[in-house]
Amino acid sequence: MNIVVCVKQVPAKDAPLAIPEGAAWIRETDIGFELNEPDGYALEEALRLKEKHGGEVVAVSMGPERSKQAIKEALAKGAERGVHISDDKFYELDPLGSARCLAAAIKREKFDLVLTGLQSDDHGFGQTGVLLAELLGLPHATIIMQIDAADGRLKLKRELEAGWFQWVELPLPAVLSIQSGINKPRYATLKGIMAAKKKEIATLTRAELGVTVSPTQRIERIYVPKKTKKTEILTGTAKEAAAKLVEKLKHEARVL
């Protein structure tokens, strides 16, 4: 089974973020970057499927030169090849633009399955995987908790609300968005890291892919949410206060 896994490089979770005056994106100098955590689960799932069914895993990423690191991590963990869509302005793309670029690159591959993480830890649109399936004209399922592949078909466990699950079946090829926590991603071993240096990373540009994008949405502004702290003291006897609290939990907080 040949699997394409989409991996994104995002600012490190604990990186101190600075937003330049009036900018629509964070200041990228002096912060660390890492593999988008949800994509780490997709990568692990891809590696496990490959180990079970054979084939190869190709890691695809888009972004500036530094984003190759996400591909290298995938290669170190066991992916066979990498495809880097080199794009210094990728952060200006909306999810549709991103998906168009990725779809164009993935169409060049012979694959049975495309895996993505559920969403990215930076923009968090959660749409790229779905749009990718549409653009590739393939069936798609989200929030995948378990994948059983047999005879060219997939049996998939999806997570629903309130502890419910759903089993669905899809034919291959397909595109899946993997739920975070589905597995425990492996470490890259030092041997794997050394071996990754010999693996191929193909570089493509938007122009080479023949993709022109006109954003359908753009980020106006980003800002740190203002802290709004409102403390209300409930007065009266304990009984009265408790009654008021229940009322508020029911109708204001709506948690009861």
Q: Residue numbers of the site for other proteins (CB under 8 A)?
A: 14-16, 18, 29-30, 32, 68-69, 72-73, 76, 187-191, 193-194, 196-197
For residues 47 and 191, give the distance between their C-alpha atoms in angstroms, rounded to a whole number.
17
Tokens for 93? Answer: 């793309």
CB of 200 to other proteins, least distance (A): 15
CB of 148 to other proteins, least distance (A): 28
**Is the CA virtual torsion 199, 200, 203, 209 positive or negative?**
negative
CB of 196 to other proteins, least distance (A): 7
Residue type, 93: L
Q: Residue 67: phi, psi to the nearest 5? A: -70, -10
Can you list the positions of beta strands (E) in 118-191? 140-150, 153-159, 165-171, 174-178
For residues 49 and 58, give the distance between their C-alpha atoms in angstroms, rounded to a whole number.
13
Tokens for 63? Answer: 């972004």
**Is the CA virtual torsion 123, 125, 128, 129 positive or negative?**
positive
CB of 70 to other proteins, least distance (A): 10
CB of 122 to other proteins, least distance (A): 17
Smaller CB distance to other proteins: residue 27 or 107? 27
Smaller CB distance to other proteins: residue 59 or 211? 59
Smaller CB distance to other proteins: residue 83 or 135? 83
CB of 186 to other proteins, least distance (A): 10
Smaller CB distance to other proteins: residue 193 or 213? 193
Smaller CB distance to other proteins: residue 222 or 246? 222
Give the residue among 136, 170, 139 at the shortest CA–CA distance from 156. Answer: 170
Q: Give the count of beta carbons closer than 10 Å to the beta carbon of residue 10.
A: 21
Smaller CB distance to other proteins: residue 18 or 24? 18
